[in-house]
Amino acid sequence: MDNYQAPLRDFRFLLEDVFDANQLWERLPGMSGVSTDFVRTVLEEGARIASRELAPINHSGDREGCEWADGTVTTPQGFRQAFTALGEGGWLSMNGNPDYGGQGLPKMLTVLIEEMFYSANTSLFLYGTLTAGAAYCIESHGTEAVKRRYLPPLYDGRWGGAMAMTEPQAGSDLGLIRTRAEPQADGTYRVKGTKLYLTGGEHDLTENIIHLVLARLPDAPAGTRGLSMFLVPKFLVDERGALGRRNKLRSLSIEHKMGINGSATSLMEYDEATGWLVGEPHQGLATMFTMMNYERLSVGMQGLGLSAIAVQSAGAYAQQRLQGRAPAGPVHPDESADPITAHPDVRRMLLVQRALVEGGRAFAILVGRELDLVRYADDDDEREQAAAFVGLLTPVAKAFLTDRGLDCCVLAQQVFGGAGFIVETGVEQFVRDCRIAQIYEGTNGIQAQDLIGRKVLRDGGATLSAFVDRLRAELPRDARHYAATTAEFDRLIAVTADLIERCEQDPNLAGAIATDFLELFGYTVYAWLWARMDACAGADEFGQAKRYTAQFYFDRVLPRADALVRGIRADSNALMAVPDAMF
Ligand SMILES: Cc1cc2nc3c(=O)[nH]c(=O)nc-3n(C[C@H](O)[C@H](O)[C@H](O)COP(=O)(O)OP(=O)(O)OC[C@H]3O[C@@H](n4cnc5c(N)ncnc54)[C@H](O)[C@@H]3O)c2cc1C
C-alpha cells in the first residue's frame, strides 16, 4: 500500500474552525507571521512530500530492512535521498529556533506534518524525529558555542541525532545505568559503556550522527540522581564546524525486529569516546527529559499516523469488497452481493476507527496548543499553567494515542478479512510498525505511572482540576453534547478525589489502577473534543460526517469509561493478594 492521501480538509477544520488557531497565533509574539494561507501551503506541501517521496518507499523499505556489516549500517533503497529531501525542504527544522536556522513554526501545525510523515513512512521519519529531538535538547541546554556548531547541520539534515539511554540491565529503570564518563584535562570526557536498542545510532543517511548519552561521572551518586548527559558525535567537530577524526563509538550489531524494519536499531559501544557535558552534572535525566518529552508526543503521533493511514485503507477496501447481504435487505440487488459497509459489524469497526483517529488528531492539536503557549506566551502565569498542562497531557498523548492507534490498525486489518493478513495489501505492516510505539520512549505502563503519580497525586489533583475547568469554559452551553461531556468531567473529578484519598491508605493502589485511569482521562478528553467538533461542524457533507461520528463516539465508544470507573473503584487486592509463585 504505497498510496497516501493526506486528510487536509480535516486539518483545516481542526485548526481553523475547532481551535481557531489563527486567533492564538495573532496574539503570541513571534507567531504573527503565521497566516491561514501560509499554514494551508505548508500542509499541502507536507502532503505532497508524504505521498510522493515517503509513501512510495514505505513497503519496499520494510521488505528490504537495514543491513549491518563491520560496524556500518545500510538503510533501504531510496531512504538516503528521501531523508536529504526532508532536510533540504526544512522539514526537520520546523520547530527549531530561528536564531540558529530553525523555522519556529507552531506545534499545533507541526504535529499534523508529523502525522502525515508517520502515515507515509514511519521507519524513515523516525530518523528525522530523533534528529529534531536531539536538536531541541541541545537548543534548550547547550552553550552558545555548542548551539552554533551543532544546530544548523542538525536542522538541515546533514547530521542525524540519537538518544542513548537504554542498557541491557537498565530499561524502564534508568537508575541502573552503568556507562561512565571520565573528565579530561581539556574539559572533555571519555565515555565508556554499552547502550542497547538505539534508534538511528548508526546509519548511512547523514555525514555525522550526534549521540546524546546518559552516563555517570566518577563521583556520581547511585540511581537517577547520578546521571549526566553527554554529547558524543560520531565524527569530532572543530570550532568552525568541520568534521575531524572518527570518534570511538561503534555499532556492534542491529536488531531483527517485528516492525519498523527500515529504522536501524543498534547495539552501540562507546570505547572511551570523546564527549562534552551538556547541562549540569548529575542533572542528566532532567536534561534528557527535554528530548524524551519531545519524543513522547512524537511517538504518540506515530500511533496516530499509522492508524490514520490504516483507517483510510480500510474504508476504501470496505466500499468495494462485496460479501453477503445487508440485514434489512439488499442494498445493491443488481450486484452479486452488497459491499461489506452494509453490515452493522463492519460499520462498527470503521466508525470506532474514525472516532478514535479523528479524536486523536484533535487531541494532538490540543497538546500542540499548550506547547505553543509554553514557548511563546508573554504572560508568565499563562506559560506556567500551560507547562503544567503539557506535563499532564504528555503521558496521555504517548500512551493513549499509541494504544488506540494499535487498536485501530488491528481493526483496519480485520476489515480486510484474510487479505489483511497478506503482506501485499500492506495493512499488516501498519500493525507491525505501530506495535513498538506502545513500548519505547517509556512503556505505556510507565506513562500511566507518570500520570497518576507525578502529575495527579503529587499536587492533589490541582493541575487536572484546572485543566478540566479550562475545557469546561471552552465548551458552549448550547453544544449538543454539552450535558454528556460535563457529566464525564464531573465523574473524572469525583473519581480523582476519591483516588487521592484511597491511595494514602493503599501503597499499591496507584500502580494497580494507573492504566485504567489514563484511559478514563483519555476517553473523557475525547468526549470534550467530539462535543467541540460536533458544535463547530458545518451544514455540508463533511460537517454531517463529523456529527454522525460524534454521535457514535458518545453512544458506542464513551461507555468504555463506565467499565474503567468500576475497575478503578475496586481495591488493589485483586492484584496484590495473588502470590508471586502463581506467575
Ligand atoms: C525498536 C526499539 C527502539 C528503541 N529505541 C531506543 C532509543 O533510541 N534510545 C534508547 O535509549 N532506548 C531505545 N529503546 C529502548 C526502549 O525505550 C525500552 O525498551 C523501553 O523503555 C522498555 O525498557 P525494557 O525493554 O528494558 O523493559 P523493562 O523495563 O524490563 O520492562 C518490562 C515490563 O515491565 C514493566 N515495568 C518495568 N518497570 C516498571 C515499573 N516501575 N512499574 C510498572 N511497570 C514496570 C514495563 O512496563 C514492561 O511491561 C528502543 C527499544 C526498541 C525495541
Annotated catalytic residue 64: no
Where residue 293 falls among pLDDT bands split at 50, 70, 90? confident
Helix H or strand E encompassing 237: strand 235-237
Helix H or strand E encompassing 244: strand 243-246
Nearest to 107 by CA among 373, 371, 395, 292: 371
In short, whether 41's Cβ falls inside 6 Å of ligand 1 is no
Atom of ligand 1 nearest to the CA of 200: 8
Dihedral sign (CA 169, 170, 173, 179): positive
Is 177 a residue whose pLDDT tops 60?
yes
pLDDT of residue 2: 58
**pLDDT digits over 23-74, tens only?**
999 999 888 789 999 999 999 999 999 999 999 999 999 999 999 999 999 9
Question: What distance in Å separates the CA atoms of residue 530 and residue 147, rounded to the nearest whole number?
Answer: 42
Where residue 447 falls among pLDDT bands split at 50, 70, 90? very high
Nearest to 288 by CA among 436, 396, 442: 442
Quick one: how many helices (H) and strands (E) in the chain?
18, 11
Atom of ligand 1 nearest to the CA of 444: 47
In short, whether 55's Cβ falls inside 6 Å of ligand 1 is no
Catalytic, out of 53, 202, 441, 488: 441
**pLDDT digits over 208-226, tens only?**
999 999 999 999 999 999 9
* Nearest protein CA to atom 23 of ligand 1, as residue: 171
Question: What distance in Å separates the CA atoms of residue 59 and residue 47, rounded to the nearest whole number?
Answer: 18
pLDDT of residue 292: 84
158: CA distance to ligand 1 center in Å?
29
Dihedral sign (CA 551, 554, 555, 560): positive
Where residue 289 falls among pLDDT bands split at 50, 70, 90? confident
Is 232 a residue whose pLDDT tops 90?
yes
In short, whether 127's Cβ falls inside 6 Å of ligand 1 is no
571-576 long-range contacts, CB within 8 A, separation 24+: 571/502, 571/506, 571/509, 572/506, 572/508, 572/509, 572/511, 572/512, 572/513, 575/508, 575/512, 576/508, 576/512
Atom of ligand 1 nearest to the CA of 439: 20
In short, whether 92's Cβ falls inside 6 Å of ligand 1 is no
Which phi and psi angles does 336 have, rounded to 5°?
-65, -30
Helix H or strand E encompassing 73: strand 72-74
**pLDDT digits over 363-389, tens only?**
999 999 999 999 899 999 999 999 999
pLDDT of residue 33: 82
* Nearest protein CA to atom 47 of ligand 1, as residue: 445
302: CA distance to ligand 1 center in Å?
17
Mean pLDDT score of the chain: 96
CB count within 10 Å of CB 477 equals: 7
pLDDT of residue 30: 81
Centroid of chain to Cα 514? 20
Q: Is 68 exposed, middle or buried (0-12, 13-18, 19+ CB in 10 A)?
A: middle
In short, whether 440's Cβ falls inside 6 Å of ligand 1 is yes
Nearest to 58 by CA among 7, 116, 123: 123
Residue 224 near residue 239 (C-beta atoms within 8 A): no
In short, whether 530's Cβ falls inside 6 Å of ligand 1 is no
Cell numbers 551543532 correspond to 150
In short, whether 213's Cβ falls inside 6 Å of ligand 1 is no
pLDDT of residue 3: 76
Is 1 a residue whose pLDDT tops 60?
no
Which phi and psi angles does 69 have, rounded to 5°?
-150, 115
**pLDDT digits over 536-571, tens only?**
999 999 999 999 999 999 999 999 999 999 999 999
* Nearest protein CA to atom 4 of ligand 1, as residue: 197
Residues belonging to the chain: 583
Atom of ligand 1 nearest to the CA of 162: 8
Which phi and psi angles does 227 have, rounded to 5°?
-100, 140
**For residue 204, what is the DSSP state?**
S
Residue 583 near residue 567 (C-beta atoms within 8 A): no
Question: What distance in Å separates the CA atoms of residue 15 and residue 22, rounded to the nearest whole number?
Answer: 8
Centroid of chain to Cα 565? 26
Atom of ligand 1 nearest to the CA of 441: 17
Which phi and psi angles does 386 have, rounded to 5°?
-65, -40
3-state secondary structure 6-69: CCHHHHHHHHHHHCCHHHHHHHCCCCCCCCHHHHHHHHHHHHHHHHHHHHHHHHHHHHHCCEEE
Where residue 203 falls among pLDDT bands split at 50, 70, 90? very high
In short, whether 436's Cβ falls inside 6 Å of ligand 1 is yes
Centroid of chain to Cα 539? 33
In short, whether 84's Cβ falls inside 6 Å of ligand 1 is no
* Nearest protein CA to atom 16 of ligand 1, as residue: 440
